[in-house]
Structure 1
Amino acid sequence: MPTDDIVQGVSPGALTEEALLRELASLHGTRHDALRHGPDSALANHTRRTTELEGEYLRRHPSREINPARIR
Protein backbone atom coordinates (compact mmCIF):
# COMPACT_ATOMS: atom_id res chain seq x y z
CA MET A 1 0.00 0.00 0.00
CA PRO A 2 1.44 3.44 -0.89
CA THR A 3 2.32 5.55 2.13
CA ASP A 4 0.06 8.34 0.82
CA ASP A 5 -2.91 6.09 1.63
CA ILE A 6 -1.92 5.72 5.28
CA VAL A 7 -3.69 8.19 7.55
CA GLN A 8 -1.73 9.02 10.67
CA GLY A 9 -3.32 10.58 13.71
CA VAL A 10 -6.87 11.46 14.54
CA SER A 11 -8.70 13.63 12.04
CA PRO A 12 -8.24 17.25 13.19
CA GLY A 13 -12.00 17.87 13.01
CA ALA A 14 -12.61 15.03 15.47
CA LEU A 15 -10.31 16.47 18.14
CA THR A 16 -11.69 18.35 21.12
CA GLU A 17 -10.45 21.91 21.54
CA GLU A 18 -8.16 20.79 24.35
CA ALA A 19 -6.72 17.94 22.28
CA LEU A 20 -6.22 20.20 19.26
CA LEU A 21 -4.26 22.73 21.31
CA ARG A 22 -2.23 19.96 22.96
CA GLU A 23 -1.38 18.42 19.55
CA LEU A 24 -0.38 21.81 18.13
CA ALA A 25 1.86 22.55 21.12
CA SER A 26 3.51 19.17 20.76
CA LEU A 27 4.15 19.64 17.04
CA HIS A 28 5.47 23.14 17.49
CA GLY A 29 7.76 21.85 20.23
CA THR A 30 9.21 19.11 18.03
CA ARG A 31 9.60 21.06 14.78
CA HIS A 32 13.23 22.00 15.30
CA ASP A 33 14.25 18.41 15.97
CA ALA A 34 12.29 17.14 12.96
CA LEU A 35 13.92 19.74 10.73
CA ARG A 36 17.46 19.13 11.94
CA HIS A 37 17.50 15.40 12.53
CA GLY A 38 14.50 13.73 10.89
CA PRO A 39 14.68 11.91 7.59
CA ASP A 40 12.84 13.53 4.68
CA SER A 41 9.80 11.32 5.24
CA ALA A 42 9.52 12.33 8.91
CA LEU A 43 9.87 16.01 8.06
CA ALA A 44 7.23 15.71 5.35
CA ASN A 45 4.87 13.94 7.76
CA HIS A 46 5.51 16.59 10.42
CA THR A 47 4.77 19.36 7.92
CA ARG A 48 1.58 17.64 6.72
CA ARG A 49 0.25 17.11 10.23
CA THR A 50 1.12 20.64 11.32
CA THR A 51 -0.69 22.05 8.27
CA GLU A 52 -3.77 19.92 9.01
CA LEU A 53 -3.94 20.93 12.67
CA GLU A 54 -3.21 24.62 12.07
CA GLY A 55 -5.87 24.64 9.35
CA GLU A 56 -8.40 23.19 11.79
CA TYR A 57 -7.47 25.77 14.42
CA LEU A 58 -7.96 28.60 11.91
CA ARG A 59 -11.28 27.10 10.78
CA ARG A 60 -12.51 27.06 14.39
CA HIS A 61 -11.13 30.50 15.21
CA PRO A 62 -11.51 32.74 12.15
CA SER A 63 -11.65 35.82 14.39
CA ARG A 64 -8.81 34.83 16.69
CA GLU A 65 -7.19 37.58 18.72
CA ILE A 66 -4.37 39.22 16.79
CA ASN A 67 -1.50 40.81 18.67
CA PRO A 68 -0.77 44.13 16.88
CA ALA A 69 2.89 43.85 17.87
CA ARG A 70 3.14 40.71 15.69
CA ILE A 71 1.97 42.41 12.50
CA ARG A 72 4.79 42.97 10.05
Structure 2
Amino acid sequence: MDEVTTTELTGAIPAQDLSDGELFKELESLHRTRHDTFLHGSPQALAHHTERMVELENEYLRRFPERAVDPDRLRPEG
Protein backbone atom coordinates (compact mmCIF):
# COMPACT_ATOMS: atom_id res chain seq x y z
CA MET A 1 0.00 0.00 0.00
CA ASP A 2 1.34 3.45 -0.89
CA GLU A 3 2.10 5.90 1.90
CA VAL A 4 -0.50 8.66 2.20
CA THR A 5 0.90 12.16 2.60
CA THR A 6 -0.48 14.75 5.00
CA THR A 7 -1.52 16.88 2.04
CA GLU A 8 -3.58 14.01 0.64
CA LEU A 9 -5.02 13.11 4.04
CA THR A 10 -6.10 16.63 4.98
CA GLY A 11 -7.05 17.84 1.53
CA ALA A 12 -4.49 20.64 1.83
CA ILE A 13 -3.23 22.23 -1.34
CA PRO A 14 0.30 21.03 -2.18
CA ALA A 15 2.84 23.70 -1.23
CA GLN A 16 4.10 24.10 -4.79
CA ASP A 17 0.55 24.96 -5.92
CA LEU A 18 0.08 27.80 -3.41
CA SER A 19 0.53 31.43 -4.42
CA ASP A 20 3.23 33.32 -2.54
CA GLY A 21 0.54 34.97 -0.38
CA GLU A 22 -1.11 31.64 0.41
CA LEU A 23 2.26 30.12 1.26
CA PHE A 24 3.01 32.94 3.72
CA LYS A 25 -0.43 32.56 5.36
CA GLU A 26 -0.02 28.79 5.68
CA LEU A 27 3.44 29.18 7.21
CA GLU A 28 2.24 31.81 9.67
CA SER A 29 -0.65 29.58 10.71
CA LEU A 30 1.54 26.53 11.22
CA HIS A 31 4.15 28.44 13.17
CA ARG A 32 1.42 29.97 15.35
CA THR A 33 -0.06 26.54 16.19
CA ARG A 34 3.20 24.60 16.50
CA HIS A 35 3.69 24.96 20.27
CA ASP A 36 0.15 23.88 21.11
CA THR A 37 0.37 20.91 18.74
CA PHE A 38 3.72 19.91 20.24
CA LEU A 39 2.42 20.08 23.81
CA HIS A 40 -1.08 18.70 23.37
CA GLY A 41 -1.44 16.98 20.00
CA SER A 42 -1.55 13.26 19.53
CA PRO A 43 1.54 11.63 18.03
CA GLN A 44 -0.31 11.45 14.71
CA ALA A 45 -1.29 15.14 14.87
CA LEU A 46 2.30 16.13 15.63
CA ALA A 47 3.61 13.99 12.78
CA HIS A 48 1.11 15.53 10.34
CA HIS A 49 1.90 19.03 11.57
CA THR A 50 5.64 18.41 11.19
CA GLU A 51 5.26 16.96 7.69
CA ARG A 52 3.22 19.94 6.51
CA MET A 53 5.56 22.43 8.17
CA VAL A 54 8.58 20.87 6.46
CA GLU A 55 6.77 20.84 3.11
CA LEU A 56 5.87 24.54 3.39
CA GLU A 57 9.27 25.62 4.71
CA ASN A 58 11.09 23.75 1.95
CA GLU A 59 8.85 25.38 -0.65
CA TYR A 60 9.54 28.80 0.84
CA LEU A 61 13.30 28.19 0.72
CA ARG A 62 13.01 26.93 -2.86
CA ARG A 63 11.20 30.10 -3.93
CA PHE A 64 13.26 32.53 -1.88
CA PRO A 65 16.80 31.13 -1.61
CA GLU A 66 18.21 34.63 -1.22
CA ARG A 67 15.98 35.59 1.70
CA ALA A 68 17.13 38.31 4.09
CA VAL A 69 19.18 36.72 6.84
CA ASP A 70 19.67 38.70 10.05
CA PRO A 71 23.39 38.50 10.91
CA ASP A 72 22.52 38.90 14.60
CA ARG A 73 20.70 35.56 14.46
CA LEU A 74 23.76 33.63 13.31
CA ARG A 75 25.70 31.51 15.75
CA PRO A 76 29.44 30.90 15.54
CA GLU A 77 30.38 27.64 13.82
CA GLY A 78 32.17 24.92 15.67
1:48 is the counterpart of 2:67: no
Gaps (5+ residues) in structure 2? none
- What is the TM-score with the length of structure 1 in the denominator? 0.92
> Percent same amino acid at aligned positions?
46
Aligned match of 1:32 in 32, 35, 39?
Answer: 35
1:59 is the counterpart of 2:58: no
Aligned match of 1:22 in 1, 20, 25?
Answer: 25
Structure 2 CA distance for aligned equivalents of residues 62 and 27 of structure 1: 20
Superposition RMSD on alpha carbons, in Å?
1.4
Structure 2: which amino acid aligns with 1:5?
Answer: V
Aligned match of 1:11 in 14, 18, 42?
Answer: 14
Structure 2 CA distance for aligned equivalents of residues 5 and 70 of structure 1: 36
Deviation at 1:15, TM superposition (A): 0.2
Cα deviation code 1:38-71 (max 9, x no counterpart): 0000000000000000000000001111100010
Deviation at 1:5, TM superposition (A): 1.9
Name the count of aligned residue pairs. Answer: 71
Gaps (5+ residues) in structure 1? none
2:73 alignment partner in structure 1: 70
SS class of match (1:63):
coil
Provide runs of 4+ in structure 1 moved above 3 Å.
none
